[in-house]
């Protein structure tokens, strides 16, 4: 379970997130939507502390995963990131073989057991619905795969370290429609085991894959609720305009 | 108004085209000039120009190899049996031109040395085992008693594989460039071995670890290092490094290949650091984030993802560093001791190609064999640096295929 309480976030003097309180339940898909620059990606990157990589940023409020404040001093960031996986907007496989891409997280974890690694790689590729396509060419470069396959490889890579949360930052925006629908099917099946938070620009996608939807604008969480409700009968006027495609 | 502007535009464009063309042409001409002068070496006789080797006409030996001539004049070969396959016997009597002045008085040589040639003829005719090194000007006229030895030309084989560089030895100077080529490679390679680890370390520090402030003053300092004239490095090496090395390893002299390598390593550092840092910074952010997002630590990310990805750029940095070291002249000239011998250890003096050219060109008579040999050394250096630059380019371009595919 992910919970934020009165979270504010600043890029030096720019107030990027304003007093966000939100709760995402286990084994659900939460979609974050909103116009460009609204803060939804920044919000997503709070949960694996990816924003730490940017100089001169500041966060206040509470950000809890399974009840633990992930911004407290006692949290080791690399341990946190093993529990909270991330899939990026553009597929970003390493310039290594397909097998080594998936095994990477295990190797940096210090896992040496070869048969265990091989099993985890297969399981992860199966979970990412990629196994059948790549099982005969695990030693080939990941760049030999198509864009959609690369993105599923990145999902498999994130799954290999057994996270409980999966963050997805517009995972299908760089893909063609067929690859996109495969990713969406995948999200639906991954929901059974993972808590998923997905940022998307694509309204239909949010409607198709998510249980809950949060609408962001200018750093504020304008409305948050069941996806069906947000798309059919939102409370807020701005939400209605946005989901109906009037702006954004 | 409009047409005048157009004319100016054409004029400026023409000027730029012209300057580009002229520059390329000048560079091309320099290369052609270099090779033309250098290749002339192989049309030179092995014996010093203007001089001839003569023997008694009764001696059946027709020609001698340049190496043999040197050994004879060094006293290593003393009998004709060793060189003429039994056709001629007896000890070799060496005769150098200036010995004539101790054999004959000035009166006997006549006014203005008018009798010099006949006297020389007397000497050659009177000594069956003689080999005389004489100026062509005073060559004795009597063909029936004095025979001039045919001397072959300097061969590419002896030039490129010869182990002795003694360009001013008479009668047969030795142009073996192997010690110089090996000296250059030896000093440069060890310089890179010394420079690579600290250079890479600084590059990683600058691109990954340094804060904005540390980077802000460190980077300009390193770039400043590249701008220091090499003679200053040489001076530093001579005054500080050479005595230090001499003391540290208790050597007879501190001027050594090691001193050259250390100075070159310091000089190659800015090149290596700058290019390696660019390569490391060129690693896509997406890859960094992918690794960190999987729970890898910063260090794991550096050595598992960033360095492998930047490896071609880092290799190019090392190769260009070598290129910088190979062509460096002044600093090396000042600290390596300049002994043109085959390099055997780091603690002995060596001599590099650029140092040889700089040190000897001033005293080599223009157009002579020595002069042409130095030009040919320039050609060799040109080829070495060209190969280095091309391979750096090749390595760097091969690395560009590693972007993040979409």
List, for residues A70-90, the tens digit of each pLDDT value.
999 999 999 999 999 999 999
Chain A residues in contact with B292 by the CB 8 A cut-off are 50, 53, 78, 81
Instruction: Answer yes or no: is A26 within a domain.
Output: yes
Q: What is the DSSP string of chain A?
A: -EEEEEEEEEETTEEEEEEEEEEE-TT-EEEEE-STTSSHHHHHTTTTTGGGGSSSEEEEEEEEETTEETTSTT--HHHHHHHEEEE-SS----SSBHHHHHHHHHHHTT---HHHHHHHHHHHHHHTT-HHHHTT-TTSBGGGS-HHHHHHHHHHHHHTT--SEEEEESTTTTS-HHHHHHHHHHHHHHTTT-EEEEE-S-HHHHHHH-SEEEEEETTEEEEEEEHHHHHHS-SSHHHHHHHTTS--
- Is the Cα torsion angle A161, A166, A168, A172 positive or negative in sign? positive
Which tokens belong to B338? Answer: 């300049």
Q: By C-alpha distance, which of A31, A43, A2 is closest to A206?
A: A31
Name the one residue in this structure whose structure tokens are 């140092």.
B355
Domain ranges of chain B: 2-43, 51-152, 178-401
Q: What DSSP assignment string belongs to B228-252?
A: S-HHHHHHHIIIIIHHHHHHHTT-S
The span from the CA of B329 to the CA of B119, in Å, is: 49
A104 CB near a chain B CB, below 8 Å? yes
pLDDT of residue A51: 92
Contact A109 B309 (CB under 8 A): no
Instruction: Please check whether residue A33 lies inside any domain of the structure.
Output: yes
Q: What confidence tens digit (pLDDT) does each residue in A135-171 have?
A: 999 999 999 999 999 999 999 999 999 999 999 999 9
pLDDT for A248 equals: 58
Are B51-152 and B178-401 in the same CATH fold? Answer: no
> What DSSP element (H or E) covers B288?
helix B285-293
Residue B299: closest C-alpha in chain A: A108
Structure tokens at B220: 């300009």
Query: A120 to chain B nearest CA, in Å?
Result: 15
d(CA A134, CA A125): 9
Cβ distance A108 to B305 less than 8 Å, yes or no, reads no
Confidence of residue B400 (pLDDT cuts 50, 70, 90): low
* CATH code for the domain in which residue A208 is found: 3.40.50.300
User: Does residue B202 contact residue B214 with C-beta atoms inside 8 Å?
Assistant: no
Domain that holds residue A124: 2-243
> Within 13 A of B101's CA, how many CA atoms are on the CB side?
4
> What's the pLDDT tens digit per position in B103-149?
888 888 888 788 888 888 888 888 888 888 888 778 777 777 788 88
Q: How far apart are CA B250 and CA B243, in angstroms?
A: 10
CA distance B315 to chain A (A): 17
Chain B, window 305-334: residues with a beta carbon less than 8 angstroms from a chain A beta carbon: 305, 308-309
Answer yes or no: is pLDDT of B206 > 90: yes
Q: How far apart are CA A200 and CA B203, in angstroms?
A: 38
Q: Is the pLDDT of residue B402 over 60?
A: no
Q: Is residue A248 part of a domain?
A: no
Backbone angles phi and psi of A244, in degrees to 5: -90, 5
Read off φ and ψ for residue A130, nearest 5 degrees.
-120, -15
- Mean pLDDT, chain A, integer: 92
CATH superfamily ID and name for B178-401: MetI-like (1.10.3720.10)
Of A50, A91, A107, the CB nearest to B293: A50
Q: What is the DSSP letter of B305?
A: I
Which H or E run contains B309?
helix B307-327
- What's the average model confidence in pLDDT over B161-190? 87
Domain count for chain A, please give it: 1
* ipTM, two decimals: 0.91
**C-alpha distance from A108 to closest chain B C-alpha (Å):** 6
The H helix count followed by the E strand count for chain B is 17, 6
Task: Please tell me if residue A55 touches chain B, with a CB cutoff of 8 Å.
Answer: yes
Domain-located, residue A23: yes
- Which token pair is A12? 């030096």
- Say yes or no for a CB contact (<8 Å) between A108 and B297: yes
Which chain B residues are within 8 Å of A80, Cβ to Cβ?
295
Which of B290, B297, B308 faces A92 most closely, judged by CB atoms? B290
Q: Tens digits of per-residue pLDDT, B338-379?
A: 888 888 888 989 999 999 999 999 888 888 889 999 999 999
DSSP state of B40: G
| Predicted local distance difference test score (pLDDT) of residue B237 | 93
**Looking up tokens 């003391």, which residue turns up?**
B247
Per-residue pLDDT tens over the stretch A89-128 = 999 999 999 999 999 999 998 889 999 999 999 999 999 9
Burial zone of A74 (CB within 10 Å; 0-12 exposed, 13-18 middle, 19+ buried) = exposed
Using the Cβ of B1 and the Cβ atoms of chain A, whether some distance falls under 8 Å is answered with no
| Residue B379 burial (CB count, 10 A) | 17
The residues near A52 (Cβ < 8 Å, ≥ 6 apart) are A77
- Residue B262, CA distances (Å) to A55, B188, B193, B195, B234 in order: 38, 10, 10, 8, 11
The Cα of B290 is separated from the nearest Cα of chain A by a number of Å equal to 7
Q: Checking phi first, is residue A94 left (phi over 0); if not, alpha (psi -120 to 50) or beta?
A: beta
To the nearest whole Å, the CA of B210 is away from the closest chain A CA by 12
Whether A42 is in a domain gets the answer yes
Residue A50: its chain B contacts at CB < 8 A? Answer: 289, 292-293
The verdict on residue A110 lying in a domain is: yes
Is the CATH number of domain B51-152 3.40.190.10? Answer: yes
């Amino acid at each position: 379970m992910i919970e934020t309480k009165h979270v504010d976030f600043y890029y030096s003097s720019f107030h990027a997130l304003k007093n966000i309180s939100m709760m995402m339940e286990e084994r659900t898909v939460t979609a974050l939507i909103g116009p460009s620059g609204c803060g939804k990606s920044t919000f997503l990157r709070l949960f694996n502390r990816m924003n730490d990589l940017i100089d001169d940023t500041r966060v206040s409020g509470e950000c809890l995963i399974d009840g633990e404040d992930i911004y407290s001093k006692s949290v080791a960031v690399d341990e946190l990131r093993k529990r909270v996986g991330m899939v990026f907007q553009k597929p970003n496989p390493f310039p290594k073989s397909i097998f080594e891409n998936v095994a990477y997280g295990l190797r940096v974890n210090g896992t040496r057991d070869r048969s265990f690694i091989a099993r985890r790689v297969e399981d992860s590729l199966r979970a990412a619905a990629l196994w059948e396509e790549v099982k005969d060419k695990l030693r080939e470069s990941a760049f030999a795969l198509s864009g959609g396959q690369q993105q599923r490889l990145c999902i498999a890579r994130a799954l290999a370290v057994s996270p409980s949360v999966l963050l997805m930052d517009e995972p299908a925006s760089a893909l063609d429609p067929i690859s996109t629908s495969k990713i969406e099917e995948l999200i639906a099946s991954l929901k059974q085991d993972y808590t998923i938070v997905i940022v998307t620009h694509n309204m239909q996608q949010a409607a198709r894959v998510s249980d809950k939807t949060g609408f962001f604008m200018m750093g504020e969480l304008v409305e948050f609720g069941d996806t069906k409700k947000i798309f059919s009968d939102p409370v807020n006027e701005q939400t209605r305009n946005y989901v109906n495609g009037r702006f954004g | 108004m409009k047409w005048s502007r157009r004319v100016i535009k054409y004029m400026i464009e023409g000027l730029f085209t012209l300057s580009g063309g002229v520059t390329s042409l000048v560079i091309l001409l320099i290369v052609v000039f270099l090779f033309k002068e250098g290749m002339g070496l192989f049309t030179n006789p092995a014996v010093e120009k203007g001089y001839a080797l003569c023997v008694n006409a009764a001696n059946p030996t027709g020609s001698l190899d340049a190496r043999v001539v040197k050994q004879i004049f060094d006293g290593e070969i003393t009998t004709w049996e060793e060189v003429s396959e039994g056709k001629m016997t007896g000890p070799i009597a060496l005769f150098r031109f200036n010995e004539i002045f101790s054999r004959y008085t000035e009166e006997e040589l006549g006014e203005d040395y008018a009798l010099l040639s006949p006297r020389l003829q007397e000497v050659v005719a009177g000594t069956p085992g003689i080999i005389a090194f004489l100026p062509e000007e005073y060559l004795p006229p009597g063909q029936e008693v004095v025979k001039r030895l045919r001397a072959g030309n300097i061969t590419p084989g002896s030039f490129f594989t010869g182990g002795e560089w003694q360009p001013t030895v008479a009668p047969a100077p030795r142009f073996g460039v192997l010690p110089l080529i090996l000296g250059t490679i030896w000093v440069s390679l060890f310089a890179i071995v010394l420079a690579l680890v600290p250079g890479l370390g600084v590059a990683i520090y600058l691109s990954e670890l340094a804060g904005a402030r540390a980077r802000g003053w460190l980077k300009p300092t390193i770039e400043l290092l590249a701008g220091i004239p090499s003679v200053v490095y040489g001076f530093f090496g001579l005054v500080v490094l050479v005595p230090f090395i001499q003391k540290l390893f208790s050597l007879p002299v501190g001027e050594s290949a090691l001193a050259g390598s250390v100075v070159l390593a310091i000089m190659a550092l800015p090149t290596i650091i700058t290019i390696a840092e660019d390569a490391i910074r060129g690693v896509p952010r997406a890859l960094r984030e992918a690794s960190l997002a999987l729970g890898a630590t910063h260090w794991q990310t550096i050595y598992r993802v960033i360095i492998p990805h930047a490896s071609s750029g880092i290799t190019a940095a090392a190769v260009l560093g070598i290129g910088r070291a190979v062509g460096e002249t002044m600093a090396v000239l000042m600290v390596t001791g300049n002994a043109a011998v085959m390099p055997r250890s780091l603690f002995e003096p060596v001599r590099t190609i650029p140092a040889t050219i700089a040190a000897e060109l001033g005293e080599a008579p223009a157009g002579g064999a020595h002069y042409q040999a130095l030009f040919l050394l320039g050609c060799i250096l040109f080829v070495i640096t060209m190969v280095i630059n091309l391979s750096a380019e090749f390595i760097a371009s091969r690395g560009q295929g590693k972007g993040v595919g979409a």
